[in-house]
Amino acid sequence: MTDEADAYQEKDMPKTGDRKAYIVTGPTSGIGLRTALELAKRGTVVLVGRDRRKLDEVQKTIERKKGRHAVSVVCDLSDIASVRRAAAEIIALDLPIAGLLNNAGITQQHATNSAQGWDMTFATNHLGPFVLTEALMPHLPDGANVVFICSAVEDPERKPAKAVGFRGGRYISAEASARGAWKPGGSARPGADAYATSKQCNLATAMVFARETPRLRINALEPGFIPNTGLGRGGNFFVRFLLNHVLPLLAPFMKYWSNPKRAGRVAAKVLINARGETGIYYDDGGHPTQGSALVRDTSFQDRVVAETRALLATLPA
């Protein structure tokens, strides 16, 4: 862990009086919760999550402090119909939106299908955020920030990810991912290829959206390795996996270690950043980094986005 994240300070932040609105998906736990609490110091937070009760709790926590404000929007990101409804609800709020953080994400040990019959991990982590972002972008003012939370596990050459059994993003096509099919030669760990591929698509999407829409600031963030979040709570796979396999192996790579509070501060920093950078992939300290060789290839990035749009176009409007 570097000190720079903690050195990211008030100087990069707009004045408290300059009230803007920030949208955070998955604000009920882990990185998203910490980011929402951080952003609430700066503006209204639009909490976008699937569980009304949990959203209400976060909203209450934020509004317990005088002058802080949040709005809750129920949205199941795995369900495209729910995402479209939520986007319409957010637009109707007519808030001065300065940032959208695509943070919500899952891992699954046993693959299930979404409402549209698509792989649940791919739908939740890639398709839902893709639809939400495309629906909101035309309504964002010039200079607004969009950030996708990605993961280093998309890179098959990333040593810590390799050490724990990831084999990188295994993208064949958007249609194949929706069927739960991944490039052969992948991980023996259940759910690892689906997760890594969804994160590969997040990063490719951020880079294409940044090129397509230069009036907005569209970036990606790798938040580091954070064992104590809810990720993978289904079947407690993640926790068992970490305790039994990851923690012992990761000792030599502790510099990638982070925690929700620190990751939330870095995510807020990247989301609030008024410096106008776009198309940047930031590391866990908020410094520019690089994704895998494949995801840096613009023709690959373009293919992911074009195929995702084609897949989504198969749904009724």
Ligand X SMILES: NC(=O)c1ccc[n+]([C@@H]2O[C@H](COP(=O)([O-])OP(=O)(O)OC[C@H]3O[C@@H](n4cnc5c(N)ncnc54)[C@H](OP(=O)(O)O)[C@@H]3O)[C@@H](O)[C@H]2O)c1
Indicate which single residue of 151, 197, 219, 292 sits in contact with ligand X (rule: CB under 6 A): 151
Q: How far is the CB of 233 from ligand X (least distance, A)?
A: 6
What is the smallest separation between the CB atom of 103 and ligand X, expressed in angstroms? 5
Spell out, one character per residue from 237 to 256, where the chain touches ligand X: x when CB under 6 A holds, - when not: --------------------
Among 38, 76, 154, 193, binds ligand X (CB under 6 A): 76
Tell me: does residue 49 bind ligand X (CB under 6 A).
yes
Q: What is the DSSP letter of 230?
A: S
One residue of 223, 285, 286, 291 binding ligand X per CB under 6 A: 223
Two tokens, residue 146: 């969009």
Residue (8 or 238) nearer to ligand X, CB: 238
Query: Does residue 54 bind ligand X (CB under 6 A)?
Result: yes
Binding string to ligand X for residues 95 to 134, with x set by CB under 6 A, is what? Answer: --------xxxx-----------------x----------
Beta-ladder partners of 44 = 21
Q: Output 19 or 116, the one with its CB closest to ligand X.
A: 116
Sign of CA dihedral 290, 131, 70, 94: positive
Q: Pick the closest to residue 78 from 104, 109, 52, 45 (CA basis).
A: 104
Are the beta carbons of 276 and 245 closer than 8 angstroms?
A: no
Cross-strand bridge partners of residue 233? none
- Provide, rounded to whole angstroms, the least separation between the CB of residue 79 and ligand X: 7
For 127-177, the three-class secondary structure string (H helix, E strand, C coil) is HHHHHHHHHHHHHCCCCCEEEEECCHHHCCCCHHHHHCCCCCCCCCCHHHH
Kindly state the smallest distance separating residue 23's Cβ from ligand X, in Å: 12
